[in-house]
Amino acid sequence: MYYISKRIEISSAHRLDLPYESKCSAVHGHNWIITVYCRAEFLNQAGMVTDFTHVKRLLEDKMDHKVLNDVLPFNPTAENIARWICDNVENCYRVDVQESEGNMASYERD
């Protein structure tokens, strides 16, 4: 099995739709640190599990310097963002989304 990981920092804002009072319901920003993990039993024709550039392009084009509520079709919690990335990156099996020091969410496929 081959494994790769790509770590990238994205700056974006969001507001959370929560069923309780929270300061996170107001628009606020983060310098997200996102780590994407991919694996494959066989390499593709280019000799890769997943092209690092494709991962970077997806995250930067969709998320960098954006208000995530405007570009993602769900409540942009760190948990939901991790799942969305995993679903949209080829051969991805795990994503860690750190929104601030000490606050990180992970999603991993079974």
Distances (CA, A) of 99 to 28, 83, 89, 96, 102: 11, 15, 20, 10, 8
Please give the tally of structural domains in the chain: 1
Whether 45 maps to a domain, the answer reads: yes
Residue 104 has pLDDT above 90, yes or no: yes
pLDDT band at residue 110 using 50, 70 and 90 as cut-offs:
confident
Amino acid 107 reads: Y
Whether 41 maps to a domain, the answer reads: yes
Helices 52-63 and 78-88: angle between axes, nearest 10 degrees: 140
Per the CB < 8 A criterion, the answer to whether 16 and 28 are in contact is no
Is the model's pTM score more than 0.75?
Answer: yes
Q: Is residue 12 classed exposed, middle or buried when 0-12, 13-18 and 19+ CB atoms within 10 A define those classes?
A: buried
User: In this structure, what are the phi and psi dihedrals at residue 105, rounded to the nearest 5 degrees?
Assistant: -120, 145
Q: Which domain holds residue 78?
A: 2-15+29-108
Which CATH number does the domain housing residue 68 bear? 3.30.479.10
Whether 92 maps to a domain, the answer reads: yes
